Copies of this chain bind each other. A is one copy, B any other.
Amino acid sequence: MEDNAKPSGTDVPTLADVAAAAGVSTATVSRCLNSPDRVKQKTLKIVMDAVDRLGYSPNYSARALAAGRTNTIGAIIPTMENAIFARGIQAFQEELQQNGCTLLVASSSYRQDLEEEQIKTLTVRGADALLLIGYQRDPKVYEFLAKRKIPAVLTWVSDPDSDHLSVGFNNRQAMKTLAELVLENGHKVMGCITAETSANDRARDRVSGIRDAMKEAGLDPSELLVEETHYSIENGDVAFRKLMAARPRPTAVMCGNDVLAVGALRAASALKLEIPGDVSITGFDDIELASVAPVPLTTVHVPHRRMGQFAAQALMAALNGNAPDNIELPTSICFRETLGKAPSPNKR
């Protein structure tokens, strides 16, 4: 018969098993694992040998319960179905991993109610901190987070006026810059395809950016033709056709993201419109899709990877009791082939 010092059969070894095997207390084993510098070299070696020998790995539930933190970070993104968020989140995850944290991803389908639910779920599941997209949400959510002392970083936006931590970029300014370029090409009748602006602050800001530029160029911003739809290639296609049916017809269509722009491009091709000869089209994001579109897309480049990385660093800092600064990353314009001079009126 075995005595009780050994772990029985196929059971997963516990801290106590390691302690017994190494001839020390569980506290010492715990210290070896969590703060090795507080333990004598010799002891450390003995314990680590025991850990290896038994193939021990800690039970995270128990650790979380005892320590009051899970080392899990939650992220809630609007969608996983296209690549808009993939690069940024991937970088976020890599950075977290460096810091011994795990990422839990949920998606909200661009629905505010679902996002709130997911925030609750992730919190309850023990997320120590959260990455959120955009800043627009019920103040109660922020109160809830504050009450639970859960740091959150808002990304894909820059929100310097607010006291919420954010790591992102200025959607409005970025789109404005692109719009200025479009207007410099002589376009007077402007169209725009965007996500629904009521529930999406990034989309709203981008549209505002276009209007800003129009105003400064002496055009009436209210004449911007706007099509709102969900992000998908198909919807971009449909929206573009609607825009092309308007009179006067836009000579430039600025899209809220690259996915919509690619849909517009497809529609243009079907309508036998030359890009950019007949109509100019622009995107936003600079995902891989943009560079391989039927006509390579002129778009706004967003530094997704750096954003993800910085967001992770900010959160780690917040968890360590520091107060990280908001970060606004610069965007740039990525010139490709879909932006050109406005066609001369007689040519149309």
Smallest CB–CB gap between A271 and chain B, Å?
15
Give the most central of A64, A89, A147, A233: most B CB within 10 Å.
A64
Q: Is A241 an interface residue (CB 8 A)?
A: no
Oligomer: number of copies: 2
Q: How many residues of A contact B (CB 8 A)?
A: 45
Which of A44-92 touch B at CB < 8 Å?
57-62, 64-65, 70, 72, 80-83, 86-87, 89-90
CB pair A90–B107 under 8 Å, yes or no, is yes
A121 to B125, CA, bound (A): 18
Contact stretch, chosen from A167-175, A210-218, A286-294: A286-294
Closest partner residue, chain B, to A259 (CB atom): B288
Within 8 Å CB of A61, what residues of B?
61-62, 64-65, 70, 126
B-contact 0/1 string along A292-315, CB 8 Å cutoff: 111000000000000000000000
Given A58-B124, A124-B58, A82 and B288 contact (CB-CB distance below 8 Å): yes
Q: Which residues of A contact B (CB under 8 A)?
A: 10, 12, 57-62, 64-65, 70, 72, 80-83, 86-87, 89-90, 93, 102-107, 120-121, 124-126, 147-148, 232-233, 262-263, 266, 288-289, 291-294
